[in-house]
Chains A and B, each alone.
Chain A
Amino acid sequence: MQIGFKHLCIMIAIVIALILFSSFLCLIVLPSPKEIIESLRSSEMMFSLKLTLISALISTILVMIVGTPAAYALARFSFPGKKIIMTILDLPIAMPEVVLGLALLLLFGKTPLGTFLKYLGIRVVFTKIGVVVAEFFTALPYAMRTLYSTFETISARYELVARSLGYGAFETFMKITLPMARSGIIAALVIAFARSVGTFGTVLILAGGTYMVTETLPVTLYLNMSYGNLGMAITSGLLLLGVSFITIYMVERLGGRT
């Protein structure tokens, strides 16, 4: 009885993995190599790839700069409203990207904050800055989850010992906590980058998904699918798939090394 159940579970795992793998294989096998190389060389693809990588890089850096101290605060200190803050920061994970995009569009468009930023000459809505902002808010919760659990596993005792030896709170964070959180931080970095590269709904609503202006790889895939340009769509899909594979590989490698 037990052996039968065990085999059934293993079979379900194998079948579902096979279906998923076949779909990836379709992406690689079905299009002709010539078509892919042509698509890769097109100015639209070059633009999209460049914008995707640069915006993802900037948003990842911002996510880490903001997410690291914020996750540390949530993991280490108790303060009023901590639970609500944690829930709010986690919300985008459960929220559809288009809803997050809409919310951000309204915040940066119609509120005093949007007006103030416009006054400073910073236009978020339907611009490349909007791409970065959209990616930032989409990737932040994922990175923060990783960072939060990393900091939580590091005992506060290490910090107290360092401080008892004469190091201030910030110095202790830099010399003890951060190096000890190294693998978690790298994992968060990789996740933030992957999420930024793959952000679609938020970018589409906040930055507009305009051809050759705010066009990132997922937008390229979407736009070309709607024109019926399958070669371009598949090429952007392949590039995104490549990023995902590298991400998973790096997370697995770094995750094992604590």
Chain B
Amino acid sequence: MKSILLVKDLHVDLGEFKIEDITFTVDRGDYVCVIGPTGSGKTILIETIAGLYKPKRGSIILDGEDITDLPPEKRNIGIVYQDYALFPHMTVFDNIAFGLKKRISKKSEIIREVKTIAQKLGIEHILHRRPTTLSGGEQQRVALARALVVRPKLLLMDEPFSALDFKTRSRLRKLVRDVVSEYNTTVIHVTHDFEDVWSLANKVMVMYRGRILQYDTVEEVFNRPCSDFVADFIDINVMEGVVTCSNDKTIVRIGDLEIMSKDKVYEGSRVKVFIRPERVLILKYRPDKKFENILEGFVENIENRGSMIYVWARVNNILMKCAFTPNILNIVDFRIGDKVYLCFRSDDVRLFVFS
């Protein structure tokens, strides 16, 4: 069976917060990232799957078994939290062995299993220590080891890296990717960090006000957001236009502008045009070739977001943003009011037809 998790028509009401109409499937081996603004119901969703809340209606099927009414201990679902939730009165070894003790009675086997996963996660040297004496990165690796060592059918993670510094976060991401694929674990990972999505997930779910707005492959969601809200949330350029020519390449007219796309759409269709800001190259001179789309505009705003620089440029009446890494600023210096050329290829222009 391909799908491992099937959530159908799930409604959970906690008074202040609720989730509604939640239906989705997760395939075996999928890595799903759940994104959405704070308070959109992401944590309630995974905690309901884990068995903390009783749904008002709907069902959760895990590996062919209806687990909707099963207590958490009968579900075989692992959970890792942002604040690690390591048991403070136990050593690291006992934390990791905790779930194993329920499954294996042979002590030597427990020791072997704990040591194996500790080695994979690089924590074998801290097995005797108490969680409170560990760094954030170490604690998160212990939490991960504790959840994975029992080989859960599904691993749920609630913002597991958000309390860690940048460097530790990227190191842990690689570790999670390796260990999850080695254990062949299916993962649902709640996050606010798009880097988690890009580097870990093959599918992404966007939630807002307790509902799923879009659930698809990362490629699809980030290139073809299903609504203005999703587009805005994932920080993509959105424009509206009409297809004027649909031969070899599709041409979309947006006001006075013409933009070329490789997406096939009937002539006369009204479309939303999506272009990811990282796909737009901003230059101070007009390039000779390579780009099917070159738009002339003026810099209106520059924002430094640490790992990326965002530049907003006005092209006729349309405001477009492009993103690049800060090192570009060492070569080219952009100032507000500068005349610039926004260049992008036709296969980076995605079209979404709406009636």
Contact between chains at B85 and A164 (CB < 8 Å) = no
Residue of B with least CB distance to A155: B85
Mark the stretch among B29-37, B44-52, B196-204, B243-251 that contacts chain A.
Answer: B44-52
**B64 within 8 Å of A by Cβ?**
no
Residue of B with least CB distance to A167: B73
Chain B residues lying within 8 Å of A157, measured Cβ to Cβ, are 81, 83, 85
Asked if A164 meets B87 with Cβ closer than 8 Å, knowing A156-B52, A157-B81, the reply is: no
Interface of A is mostly: helix
Question: What is the bound-complex CA distance between A99 and B303, given in angstroms?
Answer: 69
Question: What is the bound-complex CA distance between A161 and B143, given in angstroms?
Answer: 10
Centre residue among B73, B87, B103 by max chain A CB count within 10 A: B73
CB distance from A145 to the nearest CB of B (A): 23
**A112 within 8 Å of B by Cβ?**
no
Chain B residues lying within 8 Å of A161, measured Cβ to Cβ, are 79, 81, 85, 146-147
Chain B residues lying within 8 Å of A165, measured Cβ to Cβ, are 73, 78, 98-99, 102, 146-147, 150
**B2 within 8 Å of A by Cβ?**
no
**A256 within 8 Å of B by Cβ?**
no
User: Which residues in chain A, 6-27, are within 8 Å of chain B measured between CB atoms?
Assistant: none
Contact between chains at A176 and B83 (CB < 8 Å) = no
**A179 within 8 Å of B by Cβ?**
yes
Contact between chains at A168 and B85 (CB < 8 Å) = no
- 4 additional contacts, CB 8 Å, given A161-B81, A165-B98, A166-B102? A160-B52, A164-B77, A165-B73, A165-B99
Cβ contacts A to B, 16 pairs, < 8 Å = A156-B52, A157-B81, A158-B85, A160-B47, A160-B52, A162-B87, A162-B98, A163-B51, A163-B73, A165-B98, A166-B73, A168-B71, A169-B71, A179-B89, A180-B87, A180-B89
What residues make up the interface of A, taking CB atoms closer than 8 Å to B?
155-158, 160-169, 176, 179-180, 182
What residues make up the interface of B, taking CB atoms closer than 8 Å to A?
47, 50-52, 71-73, 75, 77-79, 81, 83, 85, 87-89, 98-99, 102-103, 146-147, 150, 152
